[in-house]
Amino acid sequence: MKSRKFVDSVILYAIGGRGGDGCLSFRREKYIARGGPDGGDGGNGGSVILRADREVDSLLRLYFMPHQRAESGTHGKGKQLYGRAGRDLMVLVPCGTEVWNAETHTMLTDIVKHGEEFVAARGGKGGKGNMHWKTATHQAPTEHTPGEEGEAATLRLELKLIADAGLVGLPNAGKSSLLAAISDAHPKIAAYPFTTLNPIIGTLVFDEYDRFTIADLPGLIKGASEGIGLGDAFLRHVERAPMLIYVIDMAGTDMRNPTQDYLDLQQEIEAYREDLLDRPALIVANKMDMPEAKENIKEFRKRTRKRPLMVSALTGEGLDKLKDAIAKLRKKSRGENAQA
């Protein structure tokens, strides 16, 4: 089955509905000699509203439909009848969507929580009917006003996935296999680089009430911060994650050096955003079922002075210990945040 396109950045052209015109009308009824002005007001135009929805995981719809216009209000009528207000246009976006002014490059809001809303373009006000201008000395006013145009806004929407942890690693490190082994995710798994082309969210269930989400990012390679490979475009999705999980191919597949892989990963993350290195992190030595991994981990410990968790996504070795380590680091991270 062909996978659905993942879109995490779009330009949105939002236009509020136009307000309806005010009405010019005079009362005309049988046996009433002098009917006064009775033109009603036009209805207000609808607004374009962005709403965060947890069931939406991509900006795909807006990628294909970037122009979003709310309904206009209807014109006022005689007999002091007001025009109907235009319906608001509700545009659903993923939780974690940043809204930027595309022209000034300033961030307007960050829509994070489910149900949170932001008015992207307000509708225009309805015009006034001529009934508003009647006075003792001005019995037959013809003044009335047109409805106002709705706001027009050019916005840039950027999605930053909300997850408890971000999986980072080089291509073929086994991130997707690891995520599939410990969570409910079903990412594409294959023995070639850049199998993961989109960020994928998996949920790790500790017990009936405690759930932990992990974002699997496309593989990084040396030079990603300079646009090599898939570049660092997807690293924005770990910016919200309070934890990082480094996945290292300890078997050294394709003649790679696991220790250098880890150092390269840190270098690319630092080049993207230096403070990400300060976040709580776990280092996972994957593919420990392979003979080469036993020798490579000795060099890794010596050069990095780190003691990674040894696992095999293929055989299941060490996965329970990994889950326990994630739970402990999560509690520690929450405790530190609570004290801050």
Q: Quote the radius of gyration of the chain (alpha carbons, Å).
A: 29
Residue 323: pLDDT over 50: yes
Distance CA 26, CA 28 (A): 6
Distance CA 86, CA 289 (A): 64
Distance CA 212, CA 202 (A): 8
pLDDT score recorded for residue 18: 98
Q: Give, rounded to a whole angstrom, the gap between the first and last alpha carbons of the chain.
A: 47
Across 116-145, average pLDDT: 95
Q: How confident is the model at residue 206 (pLDDT cuts 50, 70, 90)?
A: confident
The strand pair at 243-249 and 281-286 is best described as parallel
Across 69-75, average pLDDT: 98
- 49-58, 137-146, 166-175, 319-328: range with lowest mean pLDDT: 166-175
Across 228-254, average pLDDT: 79
Q: How confident is the model at residue 161 (pLDDT cuts 50, 70, 90)?
A: confident
* Domains defined for the chain, CATH in brackets: 9-159 (2.70.210.12), 165-339 (3.40.50.300)
Across 54-65, average pLDDT: 90
SS3 string, 107-139, reads: EEEEECCCCCEEEEECCCCCCCCHHHHCECCEC
- 114-123, 128-137, 270-279, 307-316: range with lowest mean pLDDT: 270-279
pLDDT score recorded for residue 334: 64
